[in-house]
Structure 1
């Protein structure tokens, strides 16, 4: 009697060592080596199999700038801004202007841009400085605490509350919503996807009440009022309203707070540079740019090819997912000498791409720079030094590049 051979198991796909979407690379701070290898091989790599599907990695400075300079060929709208894909039946589309193409992107960006003009920065400076001073003066010297919670989150969440005219006593809701919105690892679990959706709708309902309270009122210098009094954003549907809120919350929260933590953690890793900055506070504006470059608080943005094209010898097809790895471009040795080190007097620190490039460059970049600079200035006034006392807990994800906690003690120099 014939026997039936057992069904052969499906061969396992070999893991791509250059799959830089793996969360553990960022949790364990081991992302440097694979990106260095991609850059050494020309700066472009295709990963066929990952938890997020197939995608191209653009890891070098020149190629990233090239792609960002062609927004009609490499669309932000066609597939969204992260390498996590939309899932029918589980996700709800929430349009936001950073994930729009021209012309709609242009109109919505212009609506919120007045909140971040140079004149607005001048107007906000005194308040940012006062709040920063209050927080620093409450910190214990010589006693341990979590820098992320006491300084980075508190400063950025206060700023968001002011930008949105959000109830002060409930401002930590903004941090909560930002953390849920920015964690793209949730797409791997349908139950967590649904939880995120619930929290996003909670966020939308809360802001809808704020919106309704301002209808018919005179314009005020907060983002909700600016949307209400604009042609481009006054008639958004509920999902687009939530999408743009999430964009502004994550953009204003995660980027600044993780750069503030990088200041504390990074300068502790480079004590000679810290001493240089302590001896010469005039280096602070440049040091701010260098810390932002070194940290790169958003690791990537995604674009989707709208037609077949070629990029430095690589055939990219219409619909292909293209990940722009700012975290790698900011360590590109052909642009930044000794790129893995913080150099507070680095001559070209301002060339960093942490805020993006082209039409989608971060609209709130000036405000982020202002907040970080004032933090460094107020620390210098008090001659306060941050001493890291333990390992940071990092965000385990390839989108937001940041910290959950950082144990520190303060001393005086």
Structure 2
């Protein structure tokens, strides 16, 4: 970029920031929605629609035509055999044509780690999913250093060890409330009654969001992250924009309410809004509405999918492996390690997207500048080169904590310790109350190539024969 180009780019950025700062963010979302509707009406854009068809066995598909972006792969149980073939035959695999454009698939553990740890060559900008989200908002997970580092630093205090210790009692109390409300000896939907409910309660706490409206948080997360254009999901663009507009109004109001309470003398808390307002780097984030909206959306989605789907996936894994459940009941001290194994086995987010910043030789292939590069965490977590018998669910797996569900390097999940703590507490409290946790029928899965999630799973609980005290917290293992 020439000096004059740099000056022009900086001037354009200042003008854009000034315009954005004067227009309420919900109106900006509405304007973006109107533009999309106009393009659809004029025939300039055609929304993606996916129709489910049986996916063939991987051996029956030519190697060059393997398409891991199919949003029904997980529902039909086909991802893992396709991943296994690519790890063996084409660990750095190029697909020339897909509904989301051409892309490279990285499927081996060591290769994924190498890409994820090299932001100088592989950029996270401007978004982290295969498709292009209809609503273009800025979030720090889709930023490169140094801007990423500044914004992440402003909010990571909410999950600092001291704050986590203070939150543990509240998390346990809310988990106990949910579990004590569950029926025994009759089926109910675990996803709705436990996974979504506990996740909503914790998100409301972290954001200081009105507790009685907590279900809005998980709804907004599902709706905004579930468009066909972004992840192959089922959310219609109109519903997604409506959710984005409501989220924007709610959090702008929450920001100003929090600022007013602090100005009136209310002590600062450890919620994410307060942390943003008290950081020099983000105290004026409200003046950059789309960036403000993007980071709030990121914190909601990030706090929703990993914990919520691991809460469900863990129950399914133990139901499918009753010997492991018996082992757990015989030795509850294995819970922290089991939590890591649940997160490895489930891998709640299947991948992250990067874009090559320059031409690069990688894994015997030539990746050109601008190419999409997809790091398939769900494949790396089943890589035989890293994990012995990787498809098995083993609660005492020695290297379970080496899973890659939280990523590597500068983009490693900020809330990983909080997610682990929530899951640990859930299983400590479950063991104190129930002798059996049986999955009744087949789970229903989310349509997505990004979120490996559940929309419904019927479960039946059997109470312990004698009342038990809540479990004492197990000792956390050392970090890998």
Structure 1 match to 2:244: 200
Post-superposition offset of 1:17? 4.8
Query: Does 2:307 match 1:256?
Result: yes
Out of 353, 356, 366, which is 1:302 matched to?
353
Q: Which of 289, 294, 300 is the equivalent residue of 1:243?
A: 294
Question: What is the aligned partner in structure 2 of residue 73 from structure 1?
Answer: 121
Query: Which residue is equivalent to 1:11?
Result: none
Give the number of the structure with larger relative contact order, counting CA–CA contacts within 8 Å between residues 6 or more apart: 1
Match of 2:35 in 1: none
Aligned partner of residue 27 in structure 1, secondary structure: coil
- SS class of match (1:339): coil
- The answer as to whether partners of 1:68 and 1:74 remain within 8 angstroms in 2 is yes
Q: Is the 8 A contact 1:297 1:402 kept in 2?
A: yes
Aligned to 2:145: 102
The 5-angstrom pairing of residues 9-408 of structure 1 reads: 17-77=65-125, 79-85=126-132, 91-187=134-230, 192-218=236-262, 219-236=268-285, 237-408=288-459
Q: Deviations over 1:179-237 (max 9, x none)?
A: 01221424479992243123112101110000011125432211011111112222221
Q: Distance in 2 between matches of 1:139 and 1:191?
A: 30
Aligned-pair distance for 1:42?
Answer: 4.4
Quick one: distance in 1 between partners of 2:413 and 2:72? 27
Please give the alpha-carbon distance, in whole angstroms, between the structure 1 residues aligned to 2:353 and 2:430: 36
Q: Give the Cα–Cα distance (whole angstroms) in 2 for the partners of residues 384 and 217 of structure 1.
A: 47
Number of residues of Structure 1 aligned to a counterpart in Structure 2: 396
Shift of residue 318, structure 1, vs aligned partner = 0.4
- TM-superposed CA distance for 1:358, in Å, is 0.7
TM-score normalised by structure 2 residue count: 0.80
| 2:65–2:95 CA contact under 8 A, matched in 1 | no
* Structure 2 unmatched ranges of 5 or more: 1-61, 263-267, 465-480
Deviation of the 1:29 alpha carbon: 2.2
The root-mean-square deviation of aligned C-alpha atoms, in Å, is: 1.8
CA pair 324-317 structure 1, distance change in 2 beyond 3 A: same
Match of 1:8 in 2: none
Is 2:132–2:229's contact at 8 Å kept on the other side of the alignment? no
CA contact (8 A) 2:201 2:214 kept: yes
CA shift, 1:22, in A, is 0.2
Structure 1 unaligned runs (5+)? 1-13
Q: CA deviation at 1:108?
A: 0.6
